[in-house]
């Protein structure tokens, strides 16, 4: 990476976002406004309205002036316009603002129905005293989500690259998945991109180029270099840990939360971004406690913040490449150089999609062909035809997500139907979307294009077909990330890690201790496994979270024995 000299960038003016509270009873209205000002006044302007109509006027005025609105908190029972009606109207004007209903106990049923129908974010019951317990935590949570979204519109970084260059794609993915607000400038389309390169003296074969707010320009940085410049934690603070977690998906993050909250010196190492596969899911519908579903990005951000709050260290954009036992110590090697040592290690590295095997595919990977759903590329598919390969839930979710941008989404399934592999709710959603077409017994025979994917050859029951496409997203089963675990950790024929009773009787590895292995312990004592990477795992967010949490209990027992 070359660092090219500083360039000045103009700062955007700062506006405090608004919180709007609505109630027809003046004493209640004054009390809520006072409480909100006390807690949130430093960062937000707290506005109030005495009726639904007055609130609707305020919303229109804010919209007209282009001012940001973070939250509307409305009483349900108001003459003329109910709280739910107002919150529905608010969504049209401010789709991203959080919306919460204030209800009396007797209205709880109506509130729950409204949450489902009008997709209201939360309901709070009156009275809300003490606000520190019954009002502020919920609103802090909602405002945290709002801010995480809103911050993405105020770019900290400008990234100049070629749309179909794998290195540019990798840099965009890194920024997007780590929630760094950035502006993407395509050197082949944006005049400004070429001007910026001229100013910095960077040639277009040294891309991507990253322009930071402080004026620094990075030429063709590696992911680790970019992460370091952006201030991501990439190096450990301690010499020795109780628990080293490898992988920051749901399993690893759950272990980090439980480990750190129960007093273990805990470090988590993640090679891309917290959230793992779940972080790529546009909507997780079946996770307990979220009746409206939640996006993978929100789940990842919340879990990351929770783990940090309990004191876990999270190193990102750091890959673990090896594992060994040195006496009682368990030591992992980092790709960026260096090692981490601890009493125990949790293997939570999940799975990666299997590669599609057809002529032209590997050459165009990252240039229109992607494994898993790529949020940044999905946005570029506006009004074009895209193809999704796979018949499981991940493929179905990707098809639904892509249909919001693409003109046509073709789902190719090798089997005879989706029923055997996809959840019923997704099959119904797909059937209801006109732009999605499912083709069974159909496969990709070849891919072609000059510097990016342009055409696919398909083969199916009705013969062969050539198709112009903008992108291909592949979801065809998973292989575990376990090349790095070394010989002392037994794996099954496909590479998934054996644990518990199976570790105790593994033919290839003799269990030498007097006790049996703990339930999630591998053939190497003190090394545990959780989530998708485990032999016979369930491949769901909830089970990964469950195993990550459980593993900490066994780690305590191991440490007590050691
Ligand atoms: C698009 C999509 C949609 C899905 N939707 C749902 C859903 O709606 N409901 C549901 O229950 N499940 C869903 N799943 C499945 C669910 O996401 C997984 O079961 C879950 O994420 C598994 O969690 P995990 O922590 O075991 O592994 P992963 O989520 O795979 O996380 C593993 C992490 O380890 C990191 N890693 C790998 N190797 C290394 C290394 N050597 N060094 C450092 N880090 C490493 C990876 O970068 C990754 O972040 C979906 C999956 C996908 C892909």
Per-residue pLDDT at 16: 87
Stated pTM of the model: 0.77
E strands present in 177-319: 182-186, 209-212, 217-219, 240-246, 266-270, 313-316
Is the CB of residue 332 less than 8 Å from the CB of residue 322? yes
State the closest ligand 1 atom to the C-alpha of 321, by its place in the atom list counted from 1: 41
CA of 247 to the centre of ligand 1 (A): 9
- What's the average model confidence in pLDDT over 345-354? 94
| Average pLDDT across the chain, whole number | 90
- What's the average model confidence in pLDDT over 541-562? 96
Comparing 113 with 315, the larger pLDDT belongs to 315
- What's the average model confidence in pLDDT over 191-204? 90
Per-residue pLDDT at 42: 92
- What's the average model confidence in pLDDT over 248-253? 98
Calculate helix-pair angle for 52-65, 83-93, nearest 10 degrees: 10
Calculate helix-pair angle for 136-150, 296-309, nearest 10 degrees: 120
Region at 496 (left for phi over 0; alpha for psi -120 to 50; beta for the rest): beta
pLDDT of 179 above 70: yes
Tokens of 79: 């003459």
406-464 pLDDT, tens digit each? 999 999 999 999 998 899 989 999 999 999 999 999 999 999 998 899 999 999 999 99
CA of 278 to the centre of ligand 1 (A): 5
pLDDT band at 9 (very low <50, low <70, confident <90, very high): very low
- From the number of C-beta atoms within 10 Å of its C-beta (0-12, 13-18, 19+), residue 113 rates as exposed
CA atoms within 13 A on the CB side of 211: 24
Q: Lowest mean pLDDT of 45-49, 261-265, 373-377, 555-559, name the range.
A: 373-377
Measured CA to CA, the distance from residue 453 to residue 361 in angstroms comes to 9
Ligand 1: residue of 270, 350, 392, 527 to mutate (most ligand atoms within 8 A of CB) is: 350
Per-residue pLDDT at 12: 44
Which alpha helices (DSSP H) does 280-409 contain, by range? 296-309, 375-379, 393-402
pLDDT of 212 above 50: yes
Per DSSP, the three-state class of 548 is helix
Per-residue pLDDT at 477: 84
Q: Lowest mean pLDDT of 15-29, 115-129, 394-408, 519-533, name the range.
A: 115-129
State the closest ligand 1 atom to the C-alpha of 275, by its place in the atom list counted from 1: 49
State the closest ligand 1 atom to the C-alpha of 398, by its place in the atom list counted from 1: 1
Is the CB of residue 372 less than 8 Å from the CB of residue 277? yes
- Order of all β-strands in the sheet with 217-219: 2-4, 217-219, 209-212, 157-161, 182-186
pLDDT of 148 above 80: no
Residues with CB under 6 A from ligand 1: 246-252, 269-272, 276-278, 280-281, 284-286, 319-320, 348-351, 372-373, 393-394, 397-398, 481, 484, 531-533, 539-542, 544
Is the CB of residue 552 less than 8 Å from the CB of residue 264? yes
Is the CB of residue 353 less than 8 Å from the CB of residue 364? no
410 DSSP β-pair partners = 387, 437
Is the CB of residue 375 less than 8 Å from the CB of residue 381? no
Select from 544, 553, 561, 496 the least CA-distant residue to 522. 496
CA of 481 to the centre of ligand 1 (A): 11
């Amino acid at each position: 990476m070359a660092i090219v000299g500083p360039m000045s960038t103009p700062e955007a003016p700062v506006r405090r976002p608004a919180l709007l509270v609505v109630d027809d009873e003046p004493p209640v209205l004054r009390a809520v406004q006072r409480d909100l000002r006390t807690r949130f006044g430093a960062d937000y302007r707290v506005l109030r309205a005495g009726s639904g109509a007055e609130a609707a006027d305020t919303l229109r005025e804010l919209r007209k002036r282009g001012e940001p609105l973070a939250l509307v908190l409305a009483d349900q029972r108001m003459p003329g316009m109910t709280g739910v009606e107002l919150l529905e109207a608010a969504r049209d004007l401010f789709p991203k603002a959080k919306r919460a209903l204030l209800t009396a106990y007797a209205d709880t049923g109506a509130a729950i129905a409204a949450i489902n129908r009008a997709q209201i974010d939360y309901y709070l019951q009156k009275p809300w005293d003490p606000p520190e317990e019954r009002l502020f935590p919920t609103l802090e949570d909602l405002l945290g989500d709002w801010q995480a979204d809103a911050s993405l519109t105020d770019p900290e970084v400008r990234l100049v690259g070629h749309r179909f260059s794998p290195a540019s794609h990798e840099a965009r993915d890194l920024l997007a998945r780590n929630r760094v607000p950035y502006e993407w400038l395509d050197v082949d389309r944006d005049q400004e991109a070429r001007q910026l390169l001229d100013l910095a003296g960077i040639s277009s074969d040294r891309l991507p180029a990253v322009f930071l707010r402080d004026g620094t320009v990075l030429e063709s940085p590696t992911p680790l270099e970019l992460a370091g410049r952006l201030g991501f934690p990439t190096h450990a603070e301690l010499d020795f840990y109780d628990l080293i977690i490898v992988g920051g998906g749901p399993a690893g993050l759950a272990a980090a939360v439980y480990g750190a909250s129960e007093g273990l010196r805990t470090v988590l190492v993640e090679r891309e971004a917290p959230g793992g596969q779940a972080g790529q899911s546009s909507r997780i519908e079946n996770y307990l406690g979220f009746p409206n579903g939640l996006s993978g990005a929100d789940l990842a951000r919340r879990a990351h913040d929770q783990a940090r709050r309990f004191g876990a260290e999270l190193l990102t954009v750091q890959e673990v490449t090896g594992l060994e036992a040195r006496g009682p110590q368990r030591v992992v090697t980092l790709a960026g150089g260096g090692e981490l040592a601890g009493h125990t290690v949790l293997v939570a590295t999940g799975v990666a999609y299997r590669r599609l095997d057809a002529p032209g595919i590997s050459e165009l990977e990252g240039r229109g062909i992607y494994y898993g759903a790529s949020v940044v590329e999905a946005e570029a598919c506006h009004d074009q035809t895209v193809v999704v390969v796979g018949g499981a839930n991940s493929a179905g979710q990707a098809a639904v997500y892509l249909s919001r941008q693409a003109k046509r989404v073709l789902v190719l399934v090798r089997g005879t139907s989706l029923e055997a592999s996809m959840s019923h709710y997704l099959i119904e959603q797909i059937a209801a979307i006109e732009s999605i077409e499912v083709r069974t017994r159909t496969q990709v025979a070849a891919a072609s294009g000059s510097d990016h994917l342009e055409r696919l050859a398909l083969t199916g029951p009705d013969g062969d077909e050539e198709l112009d496409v903008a992108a291909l997203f592949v979801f065809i089963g998973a292989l575990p990330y376990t090349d790095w675990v070394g010989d002392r950790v037994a794996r099954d024929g496909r590479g998934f890690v054996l644990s518990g009773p199976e570790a105790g009787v593994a033919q290839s590895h003799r269990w030498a201790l007097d006790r049996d292995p703990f339930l999630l312990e591998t053939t190497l004592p003190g090394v545990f496994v959780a989530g998708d990477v485990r032999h016979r795992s369930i491949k769901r967010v909830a089970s990964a979270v469950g195993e990550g949490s459980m593993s900490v209990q066994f780690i305590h027992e191991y440490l007590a024995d050691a």
